Amino acid sequence: MSIPFATEKQVAVAAVRRACLLTSSVFNKLVKNETLTKGDKSPVTVGDYSAQAVVNTILGRAFPTDPIVGEEDANELRQESGVIMRQRIVELANETLTSELGLGEMVEWGLGPGQERTPEELMDAIDRGNHAGGAVGRMWTLDPIDGTKGFLRGEQYAVCLALIVDAQVQLGVMGCPNLPVDASNPDGPKGCIFVAVRGQGAQQMAVSGANPTPLTIPTISGDSLNFLESVEAAHSSHSFNSRVSSVLNITRAPTRMDSQAKYCCLARGDGGAYLRMPTGVGYREKIWDHASGAILIEEAGGIVTDSRGSSLDFGLGRTLGENFGVVAAGKAAHAKVLAAVMQAKAEEEEEKTKARV
């Protein structure tokens, strides 16, 4: 009897692994050494395009009929003004695709020596990310570098890939090249891949794909609870999170980091809850920012909702529509955190009403 999504998992881990190696290379070559040339733009742009070209090339070979919902398109790269950056991206992508086969990888996926792609093939691969999303059918969603400022600082960022079938996330893979393997040893080895398949649990493994370890969110008591939140106050309201902490009598300082690495940390117990509340009116979360993280938390034994307690809806297109904010926590803590969010929101609205009067 075959295991559901076994091939998809194997392909997705290979794609994320290769993208992690590529983005680490971009950081070392273009950020650390500041070797950008005129026309290269930012290292994040180069890394985004290159990683999307690699992941989409692999998905295109393994699952040629599956559409992809991604951030980037190659229109700018096809212009004469983009020739220098295009050359850099083609070089990086081919360097990544043609390296020796790793654990669980197959040459049929377009990997290994001799598998170079033409510039046009790589531009077409990038453009495969233009799918509009929707409620029906299979589709992948990709964020090649989630957490751009963390990437530039040499801190936390993630390569995020998820498979959605009929609006439900079935598989999520996240690569975190800079995340310590063991949170209790922050100066020890770094680089992890996190994998979750619906109904099959969650795992952490080495970037090579070796040493898969099951993940279960531990029960964290109220006095040791703390929030995982964004570094940038522009991405999530720190002041509102502080208000929620006061409602819950949380005394521990929040753990701040960029990207969906926060979901990964929550899944293995490095923090009690992930709270993301919008800072502006009308902002809509993108599906690629939460799809792989949401299934990781669910399969590790947690709950993910928006701030009103509704499930995240991945069938509306490229955004989560009217879902407002994100609250993720273990099953034992989620209801308490959600109730505190609602209380804090009510207090905030009451204060605004009084101020207007």
Residue in 201, 205, 241, 237 with CA at minimum distance from that of residue 337: 241
Residue 296, CA atoms < 13 Å, CB-side half-sphere: 30
- For the stretch 61-71, what's the b/e string if a residue is b when 16 or more beta carbons lie within 10 angstroms of its beta carbon? bbbeebbbbbb
145 annotated among ligand-binding-site residues: yes
Q: Following DSSP, what letter does each residue of 219-240 receive, concatenated?
A: P--GGG--EEE-S-TTTS-HHH
The span from the CA of 180 to the CA of 168, in Å, is 30
Degrees to nearest 5, angle at CA 27 with 22 and 28:
95
What is the residue type of 92? Answer: L
Catalytic residues: 48, 148
Whose tokens are 């003004």? That residue is: 81
**Sign of the alpha-carbon dihedral angle for 58, 60, 61, 65:** positive
Return d(Cα 173, Cα 219) in angstroms, integer: 24
DSSP state letter for 319: B
Query: Would the annotation count 146 as a binding residue?
Result: yes
Strands 138-146 and 255-256 come out as unpaired
Any binding-site annotation on 289? yes
- Binding positions: 71, 143, 145-146, 289
- List binding-site positions for Mg(2+): 71, 143, 145-146, 289
